[in-house]
A and B are shown apart, each in its own frame.
Chain A
Amino acid sequence: MTAPTAARLEVRGVTVRFAGLTALDDVSFTVEPGTVHALIGPNGAGKSTCFNVLSGVYRAAAGSVVYGGRELTGMAPHAVAGLGIARTFQNIVLTAGTVADNLMLGRHRLTRAGFAATALRLPGAVREQRRHRARAAEIAEFLGLESHFDQPVGALPYGVRKRVELARALCAEPGLLLLDEPVAGMNPAERLDMADTVAAIRAALGISILLVEHDMGMVMRLADTVTVLDFGRRIADGTPETVRQDPAVLHAYLGQQEAA
């Protein structure tokens, strides 16, 4: 059980094509260890595609992704998870069962109990389960989920389920956390809550966070660095202040607003 510490993530010239359509075109950026890095851009800019490449779900046609010195492109998703990269999903994807079940799934990569040991309740498997459940309960408490710990996720309200997803990702003790629109669909109070939580995670754990988000207020408040994508290309990269004043960014966003 070696806890992975945050490492540098380098994305170099990543290109992804679907049936003739180029979803990501030669995109590069670097997430420095321990920082919050935001990936923004209008709808269809390729943000989610980028997440899917980083977590091994999609294959890049060209380019490389290096995390802590390891090349990720070509790795299966579970192997990527094994390096300490955890993610949440834009649309909540939880497993039927209790909050505890979902959090324990997050600890899958940190646990070892196999089919035989679990089926026969071998002492090692029982101890492991008990120990990791206690840690999962701690993480639930950190995210304010302790009162829901043994409840089925299906019955929980949307905002709470979003937090469960975040807790599940944290249960993997990641060095890099990928958050795909963590406040989408939330009301203003829940958004504030979530922003505070993300800040607290960073302060308490010192891990890197890569964030895809539409809520500009949240991005400007939390992010150390911002990368802007538009039509699959990187159009800007820098601190929130410089990006905010970048003409290309203004054009991409305002252009879209005019069309709407």
Chain B
Amino acid sequence: MTRLAETLLDALALGSVYALVALGFTVVFKASGVMNFAHGSVLLLGGWVVAATHGAVGFPLAVLLGAAAAAAASGLLHLLTARGLRGAGAHAATILTIGADLALLTALGRAIGADYLATGDPWGSAVVRIGGVHVVEARLAGIAVSVALIGAVFAAFRWTRWGLAMRAASADEEAAALMGVRLGRMRLTAWCTAGALAAVAAVFLAAFPSPGLDRSTGQLALAAFPAAVLGGLDSAAGALVGSLAIGLAGALAAGYQDELGAFGEGLPGIAPYLVMVAVLLVRPSGLLGSKEAVRV
């Protein structure tokens, strides 16, 4: 029972951090129709800036710097893809982000080296006991911060001019542009928001019980791909549902992998993908995604 409770709490913690990343994919896809494969290295960049600066400026300011750096990198990617979209084929912008990822990830991997970097987060390895269940403090903080940030993004969708512009543009881009929506600025904001969220996610992905930030932290972001996709790429609510499902699948596989025999080894890593493929077989546009309309 305790084990199940701990597993479920892990699922929630994992899911909420994935949600920060998956929401980034969704926001960018809604705004620009691009699957941002460089999101993982943007996340790593944010984490690396936090790790590199926290000693000098303290943790809170370091997180702000990290978020700013990731937002800037993400914004730059938008400017590049907006150019790349012209003329080239259907997947040009997406492939461009893959190229950018390749370059950025290699450069960051070089900078980080083979070490685990500390991000200087205040929770350390503290554990609290809630009704007999051991909970890592950093995970609780992760849930709280994720819920707050995601709430803020959803509020922005609903009540800010940016959110309105985004909804208008995804309904009918031409009409939105004619009505005075500044598409370029709306998109840039979306990409920057995604970058900043990723930097925060990096902090929690590197926090205890993980040994710290290393060059593979960016690859953890890959687990958020299936989360965004299975929820439906153009649905923010879908990203949340998908993240929780992926968190649950990952935590269950991690909690019970020993009982699964030889094939259980490494299963937590691929559980998100198994869940995603299963969902896509039944619903090709994800759980909450909108079906692509035929236009002639």
* Cβ distance A158 to chain B, nearest Cβ, rounded Å: 18
Provide the residues of chain A in CB contact with B296, threshold 8 Å.
Answer: 48, 52, 57, 89-91, 93
- Nearest A residue to B294, CB-CB: A57
How far is it, in angstroms, between the C-alpha of A93 and the C-alpha of B296 when the chains are bound? Answer: 8
How far is it, in angstroms, between the C-alpha of A77 and the C-alpha of B112 when the chains are bound? Answer: 55
How far is it, in angstroms, between the C-alpha of A52 and the C-alpha of B294 when the chains are bound? Answer: 10
Provide the residues of chain B in CB contact with A48, threshold 8 Å.
Answer: 296
* Cβ distance B88 to chain A, nearest Cβ, rounded Å: 11
How far is it, in angstroms, between the C-alpha of A90 and the C-alpha of B295 when the chains are bound? Answer: 11
Interface set of A (CB-CB < 8 Å, partner B): 48, 52, 57-58, 89-91, 93
Q: Count the A-B residue pairs with Cβ separation under 8 angstroms: how many?
A: 10
Provide the residues of chain B in CB contact with A89, threshold 8 Å.
Answer: 296
- Name 7 A/B residue pairs within 8 A (Cβ), A-sorted: A48-B296, A52-B294, A52-B296, A57-B294, A58-B294, A89-B296, A91-B296
Provide the residues of chain B in CB contact with A91, threshold 8 Å.
Answer: 296
Provide the residues of chain B in CB contact with A90, threshold 8 Å.
Answer: 296
* Cβ distance B142 to chain A, nearest Cβ, rounded Å: 40
How far is it, in angstroms, between the C-alpha of A93 and the C-alpha of B295 when the chains are bound? Answer: 11
> Lowest 5 CB-CB distances: which A-B pairs, in order?
A89-B296, A57-B294, A52-B296, A57-B296, A48-B296
Provide the residues of chain A in CB contact with B294, threshold 8 Å.
Answer: 52, 57-58
- Nearest B residue to A58, CB-CB: B294
Residues from 242 to 296 in B contacting A, C-beta threshold 8 Å: 294, 296
- Nearest B residue to A89, CB-CB: B296
* Cβ distance B92 to chain A, nearest Cβ, rounded Å: 13
- Nearest B residue to A93, CB-CB: B296
* Cβ distance A3 to chain B, nearest Cβ, rounded Å: 27
* Cβ distance A97 to chain B, nearest Cβ, rounded Å: 13
* Cβ distance A29 to chain B, nearest Cβ, rounded Å: 21
How far is it, in angstroms, between the C-alpha of A89 and the C-alpha of B294 when the chains are bound? Answer: 13
How far is it, in angstroms, between the C-alpha of A7 and the C-alpha of B296 when the chains are bound? Answer: 26
* Cβ distance B127 to chain A, nearest Cβ, rounded Å: 52
Provide the residues of chain B in CB contact with A52, threshold 8 Å.
Answer: 294, 296
* Cβ distance A56 to chain B, nearest Cβ, rounded Å: 11
Residues from 72 to 104 in B contacting A, C-beta threshold 8 Å: none
How far is it, in angstroms, between the C-alpha of A223 and the C-alpha of B13 when the chains are bound? Answer: 69
How far is it, in angstroms, between the C-alpha of A91 and the C-alpha of B296 when the chains are bound? Answer: 7
Provide the residues of chain B in CB contact with A93, threshold 8 Å.
Answer: 296
* Cβ distance A45 to chain B, nearest Cβ, rounded Å: 16
A52-B294, A57-B296 given; 8 more Cβ-contact pairs under 8 Å: A48-B296, A52-B296, A57-B294, A58-B294, A89-B296, A90-B296, A91-B296, A93-B296
* Cβ distance A249 to chain B, nearest Cβ, rounded Å: 26
How far is it, in angstroms, between the C-alpha of A93 and the C-alpha of B294 when the chains are bound? Answer: 13
How far is it, in angstroms, between the C-alpha of A60 and the C-alpha of B240 when the chains are bound? Answer: 36
How far is it, in angstroms, between the C-alpha of A58 and the C-alpha of B293 when the chains are bound? Answer: 11
* Cβ distance A59 to chain B, nearest Cβ, rounded Å: 11
